[in-house]
Amino acid sequence: MKILLVEDDRKIGQFVKKGLEEVSYVTVWARSCAEAEDAMADGGFDIAILDLGLPDGNGLQLLTGWRKKNLATPVLILSARHEVDDKIAGLNLGADDYLTKPFSFGELLARLRSLVRRHSGQKKTLLEHRGVRLDLLKHEAELDGAVVPLTQREFALLEFFLQHPGRVLTRTQIAEQIWDCHFDMETNLVDVYVAKLRGKLRRANETEPLFQSVRGVGYKLA
């Protein structure tokens, strides 16, 4: 799951980003309207969390723009308790939910999961391939029915593979998706993490490995 977090408050931003990454949601943090626009143009977000008071404008303007462009990404507005008018305006402009500050991370997570469930027509929340099962809502991975504990990066990496079975994923594609990194410097990390996944998802008498190396390019979920 990939989330756009639009929030200029450093403390709240760090708190939310850290929490989301702990449950393996890849999180891109934008601190202004301009950064949010750039990130949204890159696309691929399953949900956006939108603060309203931003240094270079109002989150509602961003939301209006996105909906005008027919961007269907579900949006959860985060804002201060006194901004009741903004709440109504936000929902009228096409926000999908609203959470007032201060909030607990547990509540935010529950709202996000409920939003994804409601939009699950567009996004599968249960991925399966050759006995590997990934439940994005419960945040659980299984191999042949047995739960496999994964770190957040491993979970995100497995999710990316399961979204593209049989397709060669380059190291760069993987690094961009999992580390939100646009440089080659992280690509050896990709090898390390694929090796970790292989180790955790290996069957005793495996004939065809799940993750195949494609020499000089990357990996493929076979």
Cβ-count burial of 71 within 10 angstroms (0-12 exposed, 13-18 middle, 19+ buried)? middle
The residue (of 8 and 21) whose beta carbon lies closer to Ca ion is 8
| Residue of the chain from 16, 46, 50, 51 that contacts Ca ion (CB under 5 A) | 51
* Nearest to Ca ion of 95, 169 (CB atom): 95
Q: Is the CB of 51 or the CB of 96 nearer to Ca ion? A: 51
Q: Are 174 and 157 in contact (CB under 8 A)?
A: yes
Does the protein bind Ca ion through residue 46 (CB under 5 A)? no
Say which DSSP state 213 is in: E
DSSP H helices in 93-212: 105-118, 152-163, 171-179, 187-200
53 scored as a contact of Ca ion (CB under 5 A): yes
Q: Determine, following the binding rule CB under 5 A, whether residue 8 of this chain makes contact with Ca ion.
A: yes
Q: Which stretch binds Ca ion (CB under 5 A): 7-15, 27-35, 57-65, 151-159?
A: 7-15
Which range in 2-10, 33-41, 136-144, 171-179 contacts Ca ion by CB under 5 A? Answer: 2-10
In angstroms, rounded to a whole number, what is the distance separating the alpha carbons of residues 96 and 14? 23
Counting residues that bind Ca ion (by CB under 5 A) gives 3
Residue 215, SS3?
coil
Per CB under 5 A, residues contacting Ca ion are 8, 51, 53
